[in-house]
Each structure stands twice: as structure tokens, then as C-alpha cells.
Structure 1
Amino acid sequence: MYYTLSLLFVYFFIYAVIGWMCEVVYCSIPEKKFINRGFLNGPYCPIYGVGALIIITFLIPYVSDPILVFFIGIILTSTLEYITSWGMEKLFHAKWWDYSDHKFNINGRVCLLNSLLFGILCVVLMYLVHPIVNDLVKSFSPFLIQVAATVAAVIFISDLVESTRETVSFNKKLTSVYEATAELKDNLKEKGITTAHEVTAKVRDLRDDTLADAKDSAHQLIVSLTNRITETKKINRYSHRRIMNAFPKMAHQYHQNALELYKAYMDKNKAPKN
């Protein structure tokens, strides 16, 4: 039993790493910079690991028909992506990716373009990748497979716990940004800053970092707001920035304006600080 579970986890981990590599290439090239995709810190995307196991399990009976593999693969992967998007939104109150600007999308969670690409990947997986991975894994002894699975599981679970903690911290930070903005809302309105977009633009364009350098009362308020953002709950700059970079189209269920403001603040303060 332990060997069987170890074997499954090794497959899961390998495909999670391969999926992460595909995501990084797919997302980094258009942005012309490296983007560490995925919910976790490490180089793996669990959704690909789970997806690969589901695809292999369900599609082996149809492996003689590539067309059927393609279309069943589309259904399986699109369903998994939709459920994952819905589940993460319920857990963390944010839509982590949004395909609303793509044609033929369903609630912004899945879209035809990505589903077709996943269908192609299913064909590649079944006829090219999995036979190679399968031969490679089976070349190792049961003992080595169990050791590899145990080590990978410890790394993966540790990362999952830490990444979840960081995401909870990120949500708390957005709440604190919202509260800081709400407290200064009336004062900002008095200075002619009436919308969340204007506040975000002012923070993004801010040149001076201290109240001593403030040129006018409106400027002072914006500087005061950035100071409040810094002070309210410790900022984990690396993890928070990684989350925002990995999911640039993230939409928060309750604090979208605070998310945009926090992005502007983090863009302005790119130098790493603790």
C-alpha cells in the first residue's frame, strides 16, 4: 500500500513540476520577465499533478483514439480548472485568474482557448510524456521510489502550509489597507480626492517618502496613507509581491480597491525591506 501511494505521489510531483515549467514559459514570455506561477512558492503547480493523474487514469482505455483523448481531455481539464478556481475563491475570497476578456469563457474561470491548449497537452501527455516518465520511474527500485516520495511529500506539505499562511497574511493586509483608506476617506474628499482610482494614482505617482517633504495638505494625506500601509500589520514583501505577480488578474471579492492600492504601493517600494 505504501509503495502504491508513493508511486502515485512521485507521478503527481513530477507532473506538478512539468506543469509549473509550462506555466512559467507561457506567462513569462509575453511579460518579458520571469514569473513564478502558481499558488505555492516552490517550482510545482499541484493542479497539473492532480490533472495528470486524472487524465492518465481516465484516458488509458481510449489511448488508441487520439481524437477521443483530445476531447475527453478538454472536458476533464476544464472541469478541474473550474472547480479549482471556484474552490480557491471560496477559501481565500479572491478570483485568482480571470478569463472574462477571452471569447467563449464560463464565468471567467475557463475559456475555449485554454481548454483547447489543455486538450493538446493531454494528447502530448498520453503519447509522448507519460511513456517516458513511466519508463523512468519504473527504472528505480521500490525503496528509492518510497524515499523520493517521502522527501517530496515533506517539501510539498511544508510549502503548502507556508503558502497558505502567506495567503492568509495577504488577505489580512488587504483588510488593513481598506481600513486605513476608510479612516482617511473624509479627509481625502476634502482635498478633492474622491475615488479609489484617484487615491491609487496619487500613491503610484508619489515622489517623496516622508511628511517632512510633503508639498501640500493633499500630499501629506497620501504620504500618511502610505505610512499607515507600512505600519498596519507586517508586510511580507516577497510573498505578497510574488502572489500579485503570479496572478496579475486577481480580483478580490471584498477589497478590490485595496488590492489595487496595495499593488501601487508595492510598485512604488520595490526595494526589499523588512
Structure 2
Amino acid sequence: MENITILGFALYEILFYFVIYAFLGWCLEVVYAAVNTGSFVNRGFLNGPVCPIYGVGAVIVIDLLMPFRDNLVLLFITSVFITSLLEYVTGLALEKLFNDKWWDYSQYPFNIRGYICLKFSLAWGIGCILTMKIIHPVIVEFVKLIPTFLGNILLLSLTIVFVIDLVSTVDTVMKLNFRLKRIHEISGKIKEKSNILGEGISRDTIELKRKYEYQAVEIRKKYNDLSEDAIELKEKYQNDLIEIKEKYENSLAEIREGYEREISELKENYKKLTGRRNHLHRRIIRAFPDIKSNRYFEALNELKRNITKK
């Protein structure tokens, strides 16, 4: 296993560096979230305590920056460039894969499409200097202390757990997108039915009113043509007029109730979808509070609002 070499490191070392830096990156994100929110937030893309982008980034950065280790200026400049490129490509790839923008730096100055910004790029540059000068030498010595046999067993176990977690997370994100699709569709139907309700009520009101007025005119005409002593007929016509009015009002009420019943059912389904507790969906949204859906923007915002209420 140690004979296999990638990026200048043995595969054994690469896997250990990936795991360690992915875990340290997760710790860094948790600390950052705690400072900004005052509470614990699992900031990783995966469910477990790892941020793969940190693991991948650390392996690439350490290998590529090793020649500049003793030149702080070049080390800083190349660190900024490499980490920014990695963050940009990762953000773009995730958006293309899931149709969701997982983080957005648009509110920061000197950003590029919200994927990267000067503030964090400079922070990554400083972080890389600390890693190359202080952190990585310690990690190298730590990995050397682990017996190879035990290390292989540990790496195999962690790899299996990582793959399971990755599959589970991808499934969670796909189900979240399906949930957003249903919310979006129901929201559209509610708007459509509401428009139909308004148009239908207006149309039916005008038609029923026309019929009522026509019949009322005919009844009043017959009523006026009666002699003053035809009291019974006059009462009958008056009752007919009242009956027609009640029938008109009842017809309108039935029409409204029919439309309102459909809208009420849609709203109930909408409420269930947006209010249903799913701790995995909640974790994803809490981990990436700036996440934006390219297809279901309003649906995701509604889901965010309901999640932050709880």
C-alpha cells in the first residue's frame, strides 16, 4: 500500500492527511458557526464530523506549496490562488450537481459570482501558512507514530463510514430537492386555484345576478299588473322574489365553498410539506444558511423560515 504514490505522497499518508484535515476543517467550521450564532451547528456537507473540501484542499495545497515553504510571500500568494480556485470549483460543481448554491459571498466586496471573496481568500492564505509552518509538521509526526497495520484497519473503517455517509447525504439532498419541487408545485396550484376562484366567482356572480334581475323584473312586472284586490297573488309574487334571491345567494355560496375547499386542501398539503420535521433536511439548511435553490427559490425560503422558527 505504501508503494502507491499520488501527488508525491504514499496513498496511506494521503488518506490519513485527508481524514485529519477534514476533521480539523469541520472543527474550524463549528467554531466559526458557534461564534456567529452562539450555538452548535454541524457545518459539514456530510452528517459526520468531516468537511471533505478541507481534506482534499489540504492534500493538494501541501503537495503544491512544499517548494514555497521557506518563502512566505510566494507561499501566501500561491495559497490564496490555490484555495480560492478550489473553493470556486467546488461551489460551482455542487451547484451544477444539485441545482443549489450552497454558500453565497455576494454580500462581501470583491467576490466572484458569490463563490469566493477577497476576505475569505486572504483568510485561507493565512491558514495555509499556519498549516505549512506549524500544523502539518505535527501531523506528519503523529501519522508516523501510528502502527501501519493499525493504520490500515483504521483507514479502511473510516473509508467505509465515509462512503456510507456520502451516499446518505446525497440521498438526503435529492429528497430535499424533491420536497422543494412538491412545495413549489402546490404553491403554484394554490395561486392558480385562487385566480380561478376569483375569476369564477366574478363570472358566476355576474351571470346569476343577470338571471336574478331578469326574473325579478318579470315578477315585479306581473306584480304591478295585478289589481289591488289580488292580495294572494301579490304575496305569492313577493315570496317568489324572496325565493329567487335566496336561491341566487345559495348558488354563490356553493360555488365559493367548492373553490375554497380545493384551496384549503392544497394549503393543508403545503403546510404539511413545509412544516414536516425532517432532522436531516434541517441539518443541511442549518449547516448552509445561505443555500439557494436555482429552481425552487421561494419554496426553499419558506422551508428555511419554518425551520428557523423551531
Common fold by TM > 0.5: yes
Partner of 1:84: 90
Aligned match for 2:63, one of 57, 73, 92: 57
SS in 1 for 2:130: helix
Q: Which structure has the greater CA radius of gyration?
A: 2
TM-superposed CA distance for 1:127, in Å, is 0.6
Partner of 1:114: 120
Distance (Å, rounded) in 2 between the aligned partners of 1:112 and 1:32: 25
Q: Which amino acid aligns with 2:300?
A: L
Partner of 2:30: 24
**Residue pairs, 1:211-250, within 5 angstroms:** 224-230=266-272, 237-250=278-291
**Residue pairs, 1:1-20, within 5 angstroms:** 1=1, 4-20=10-26
**Residue pairs, 1:1-274, within 5 angstroms:** 1=1, 4-188=10-194, 224-230=266-272, 237-268=278-309, 270=310
| TM-score between the two structures when normalised by the length of structure 1 | 0.82
Q: Does the CA contact (< 8 Å) of 2:180 and 2:296 recur in 1? A: yes
SS in 1 for 2:126: helix
Partner of 1:208: none
TM-superposed CA distance for 1:9, in Å, is 0.8
Pairs aligned (count): 244
Distance (Å, rounded) in 2 between the aligned partners of 1:183 and 1:236: 23
Q: Which amino acid aligns with 2:132?
A: M
Q: Does the CA contact (< 8 Å) of 1:77 and 1:118 recur in 2? A: yes
Name stretches of at least 5 consecutive residues in structure 2 with no aligned partner: 4-9, 199-258
Distance (Å, rounded) in 2 between the aligned partners of 1:133 and 1:110: 28
In structure 2, do the counterparts of structure 1 residues 261 and 44 end up closer, same or farther at CA, with 3 Å as the change threshold? same
Q: Does the CA contact (< 8 Å) of 1:7 and 1:149 recur in 2? A: no
Which of the pair is proportionally richer in helix? 2
Q: Does the CA contact (< 8 Å) of 1:244 and 1:250 recur in 2? A: yes
SS in 2 for 1:75: helix
Distance (Å, rounded) in 2 between the aligned partners of 1:31 and 1:226: 32
Distance (Å, rounded) in 1 between the aligned partners of 2:102 and 2:22: 18
Q: Does the CA contact (< 8 Å) of 2:189 and 2:266 recur in 1? A: no
Name stretches of at least 5 consecutive residues in structure 1 with no aligned partner: 193-216
